[in-house]
Chain A
Amino acid sequence: MPKFMILIYETDATSGKLGPEKQKAVLDKYAEWNKSLRDKGVFTGSERLSSAGRVLRKADQKLRIHDGPYAESKEVFGGYWAIEVGSFEEAVECCRNSPHLDYGGTLEIREITTCPVN
């Protein structure tokens, strides 16, 4: 069966900007979604990335490292859920009840290739 990664792009909710009271509600909702994926038997893993990071690029052959990424430049990748389902359609179905969408966030579904074609 194909494997998909559901990529979470940061929102205020996921980056903890809603304040400590609302934060618990956020965590509960994600935990609920997490459980629903496990109950369906499609969950294969998930990881949350810390918001602080480093960005590396080379310009004129010189390496530049800076803290980041920052939300101003583009959507920040916050973490992922990995699932094993039959098709993109099924993967989309798994996303419909994700709280991430209610908090105005974007989910990107990408198929994982780790095996050779055919």
Chain B
Amino acid sequence: MTEPGAQSVESGAHAEVEGLIDNLFRRSAGQIVAYLTRLLGPENLELAEESVQEALIKALQGWPYSGVPNNPGGWLFQVAKNTALDAVRRNSNFASKHPEIVAELDRKAASTDHVDAHLEEQLRDDELRMLFMCCHPALSPNLSVPLSLKIVGGFGVGEITRALLSNETTIAQRLVRAKRQIRESNISLELPSGRDLSQRLDAVLEVVYLIFNEGYAAFSGENLIRSELCFEAMRLGKLVADSSLGSPKVHALLSLMAFQAARLPARVDSEGNMVLLEYQDRQLWDRQLVAFAFRELEQSAEGDEITSYHVQAALASVHAHGEDEASTDWVTILSLYDQLIALAPSPIVALNRAVAVAKVHGPEQAMREIDEVVDQGALKSYYLLHAVRGRLLRQMGKAADAAANFRSALECPCSEPERKFLQKLLADCEEGA
């Protein structure tokens, strides 16, 4: 039984077809590819993908006439297995060496009419193994991310291209390289153990959060596929959290993602303008996701390990606690940033911390900290560095200096909504000057 909040994590956001739940095809594709890959071996990943594509096409061609079957997932599973079975039988060498695989593929379900709970569990397990395989150390993150999206997420190459703001040739090449690497390194679906498993889990969480951030960096109206990534990342996080590999830090990441995703509806106004956290209409925040995030935060509190996900989730929760911007507990936020800087120092964290410093100790101190602490070389082309400095200078009454910083910000790469936002800041400055 899924809980509210978890419901939207699992189903994403889409229009419905009668009898077909949201994202059924995409998720079935991921699960069945995982199942067939486990059965046939990762070196036959492409056969697994082709078999699933065949099943989806047959559904597309037939269901408009026959209607959606009672158990659409089961139907797709059966047809994909049949397709794989035909291919395996045609390769007599393979078939004779692996009669048990042929037998497994040939095994008919007692009834495809009803959902088989045992099969569901098996498919979730296979999907998890696939996700862990995609994050194998031999695959760099720029291969793991598109590979995970393709074979676990069930996204198409075009969709991944738009999601990652890349081009199709690049994505296609990365997928080819990833699959080649899997074959050459003999990467298997076996889960590692001990420390290797722990490292692999960290890699998985990193990839999941990368996928989330790709989606979160988008603004609605820019591309719906990108916010779909946020929900996919959360679905994957929940898959790990609900399994035997779940641990407090997985819940921490899930909590962090849920707090951020809850804010998605408020991040852009009706004209497509970016709305900063401090100005967001909190009535628009997804209450179910916020509740889910708090529950996950609680679960992450077990045990001794404190990861940067824990601290970031705690930070997000402090913002979510406040009725409005004015009642935000900046003192706690600052102390959490102190913790984060110690755990995972980075120029961007230092910059975000400086914003909290300004709220607690005033803009002058924040500016001093930015100048001292922030590695300005590293963030020179990060528009937020200049934007934050500009806003602090404005608060200090130095409009001309502020304007200069906003102009520098505009010279940095940023999205259209970000550009409009900066131009507004600049215009306000020039008015005041």
Indicate yes or no for A touching B, C-beta below 8 A: yes
B90 to chain A, nearest CB (A): 19
Q: Which stretch of A9-17, A89-97, A109-117 is in the interface?
A: A109-117
- The answer to whether A117 touches B65 (Cβ under 8 A) is no
Q: Quick check: is A73 within 8 A (CB to CB) of the other chain? A: no
Q: Are A113 and B65 touching (Cβ within 8 A)?
A: yes
Asked if A50 is at the interface (CB within 8 A of a chain B CB), the reply is no
Is B65 a contact partner of A118 (Cβ separation < 8 A)? Answer: no
Please determine whether B109 and A118 come into contact, CB atoms closer than 8 angstroms. yes
* Nearest-Cβ distance from residue B19 to partner chain A, whole angstroms: 12
Determine the chain B residues whose CB is within 8 A of the CB of A115 once the complex forms: 66
User: Which residues of A are found within 8 Å of B78, using beta-carbon distances?
Assistant: 117-118
CB-nearest residue of chain A relative to B55?
A117
Q: Is B112 an interface residue (CB 8 A)?
A: yes
Instruction: List which B98-115 residues lie within 8 A (CB) of chain A.
Output: 108-109, 111-112
Is the Cβ of B108 less than 8 Å from the Cβ of A118?
yes
Chain A positions within 8 Å of B82 at CB level? 117
Closest CB-CB distance, A110 to chain B, in whole Å?
13
B65: which A residues are within 8 A, CB to CB?
113-114
Q: Which residue of A lies closest to B71 (CB)?
A: A116
Q: Which B25-84 residues have a C-beta within 8 angstroms of A?
A: 62, 65-66, 69-70, 75, 78-79, 82
**Nearest CB in chain A to that of B109: its residue:** A118
In the complex, A17 Cα to B82 Cα: how many Å? 46
A113 touches B62 (CB 8 A): yes
Using Cβ atoms and an 8 Å threshold, which residues of chain A touch B108? 118
Place the interface of chain A in its size category: under 10
Chain A nearest Cβ from B322, distance in angstroms:
50
Counting contact residues on chain B (CB < 8 A from A), the size range is 10 to 19
Tell me which of A113, A114, A117 has the highest count of chain B C-beta atoms within 10 A of its own C-beta: A117
A66-118, CB < 8 A from B: 113-118
Find chain A residues with CB under 8 A from B79 CB.
Answer: 117
Q: How far is the CA of A116 from the CA of B108 in the complex (A)?
A: 14
Q: How far is the CB of A80 from chain B (nearest CB, A)?
A: 16
B66 near A116 (CB under 8 angstroms)?
yes
> Bound complex: CA of A116 vs CA of B66, how far in Å?
7
CB-CB under 8 A from A116, the residues of chain B are 66, 69-70, 75, 112
Bound-state CA distance A116–B65 (Å) is 10
Min distance, Cβ B65 to any Cβ of chain A, angstroms: 6
Distance A117 CA – B70 CA, assembled complex (angstroms): 11
Chain A residues lying within 8 Å of B66, measured Cβ to Cβ, are 113-116
In the assembled complex, the Cα of A115 lies from the Cα of B62 at a distance in Å of 9
Q: Which residues of B contact A114 (CB under 8 A)?
A: 65-66
Closest CB in chain A relative to B115 CB, distance in Å: 14
Residues of B within 8 A of A118 (CB): 75, 78, 108-109, 111-112
Considering the complex, give the chain A residue whose CB is closest to the CB of B65. Answer: A114
How near does chain A come to B136, taking the closest CB pair, in angstroms? 35
Which among A114, A116, A117 has the greatest number of chain B C-beta atoms within 10 A? A116
CB contact list, B228-280 vs A, under 8 A: none
Contact with A along B92-131 (1 / 0, CB 8 A): 0000000000000000110110000000000000000000
CA distance A4 to B232 in the complex (A): 43
CA distance A117 to B66 in the complex (A): 10
Nearest B-chain residue to A114, judged by Cβ? B66
> A116 CA to B70 CA in the complex, in Å?
9
Shortest distance from the beta carbon of B52 to any chain A beta carbon, whole Å = 15
A118 to B112, CA, bound (A): 7
Q: Which partner residue on chain A sits nearest B108 by CB separation?
A: A118
**How many angstroms from the CA of A51 to the CA of B78 in the assembled complex?**
41
User: From residue A109, how far is it (CB to closest CB) to chain B in Å?
Assistant: 18
B112: chain A residues within 8 A (beta carbon): 116-118
B74 and chain A: residue at smallest CB distance:
A118
Residues of A within 8 A of B109 (CB): 118
A25 to chain B, nearest CB (A): 38
B411 to nearest A CB, angstroms? 40
* Distance A96 CA – B326 CA, assembled complex (angstroms): 87
Give B54 Cβ to nearest chain A Cβ, in Å.
12
* Interchain nearest-CB distance for A81 vs B (Å): 19
Residues of A within 8 A of B70 (CB): 116
Q: Given contacts A115-B66, A117-B69, list 8 more A-B pairs with CB under 8 A.
A: A113-B65, A114-B66, A116-B70, A116-B75, A116-B112, A117-B75, A117-B112, A118-B78
Q: List 8 A-B contacts (CB under 8 A).
A: A114-B65, A116-B69, A117-B75, A117-B78, A117-B82, A118-B108, A118-B109, A118-B111
Closest 8 CB pairs between A and B?
Answer: A116-B69, A118-B112, A114-B66, A113-B62, A117-B79, A117-B78, A116-B75, A118-B78
Enumerate chain A interface residues (CB-CB to B < 8 A).
Answer: 113-118
